[in-house]
Amino acid sequence: MGSASREALASSKAAIAAVAPGALTLSTGEDLFAAGRIIGASPQFRGLLSDPATEQAEKSALIRRVFGDDLSTDALSLLTTIASATWSSTDDLLSGIEEVALRVIATSAPADLSIESELFEFGEAVSSDSGLELAVSSSFGAPEAKVALINALLHGRASEQTVVIVRHLVLQPRGRRIEELLNTAATIVADTKNQSIATVTSATPIAPAQLDRLRVALGRTYGRELTINQVVDASVLGGLRVQIGGDVIDGSIESRLNDLRQKLTA
């Protein structure tokens, strides 16, 4: 993301904080997702909004003309702020709308709801079934069929917030794989709560008490609360592999054997 887009995103996130507490709802985020898909579907529309030569007032007027009768007051205000900013590219603009929508939905969720954990669980289910992954990812699938599939898969198994997020991601993937889509969304949702996500991979399940101790220790190191996603993978042989953002702490036996092989062949 270019420097102009980083500034635009910062101002867009600040606009969320300016809304009265409790005013942002799931519907606000859903409205923003829908508007982002409409903008994304029109090259001319998104081109005008992301063109630095287009005046801010012109962008604002365009947004209000197209969406004024269809969006809630808060959603329209946020979308106007986002679209009026200067973005480095059309894709950055769409990413900005998506991120603000995700943050709004995270803000509107009950305090005890872990959207990021639900997204992780859905991702694990999809990655374990190639047919399912193809069904939700294929560019040839009808949007209505994808929505129906997501609704069927998550009904009674995930919160309404997670269903809304996943539906949007499969409707507007923008060239991203489903795993990337879900990981990015979960990271943004966690960050809204000033948390990060640690993915812990081990050969066998880790006891909850051990996971909690690991979470506390890593949280002290990184200076923020962590949500732990546990992955069981027999290929790691033993030990742990921990990934937090771009950081990887690999203490698995598999990693040590690989290091040994490299030293022997050097």
Beta bridge partners of 228: 198
The fold adopted by the segment(s) 194-265 is Glutaredoxin (3.40.30)
Average pLDDT of 128-138? 90
- What pLDDT digit, counting tens, does each position of 142-196 carry? 999 999 999 999 999 999 999 999 999 999 999 999 999 999 999 999 999 999 9
pLDDT digits (tens, 9 = 90+) for 31-77: 999 999 999 999 999 999 999 899 999 999 999 999 998 999 999 99
pTM of the model: 0.88
Strands 225-232 and 240-244: unpaired
Q: Which of 127, 131, 167 is nearest to 149 (CA)?
A: 167
Residues 6+ apart with CB under 8 A from 226: 195, 196, 197, 198, 215, 218, 219, 244
**Per-residue pLDDT for 16 more than 90?**
yes
Domain spans of the chain, in order of start: 3-108, 115-191, 194-265
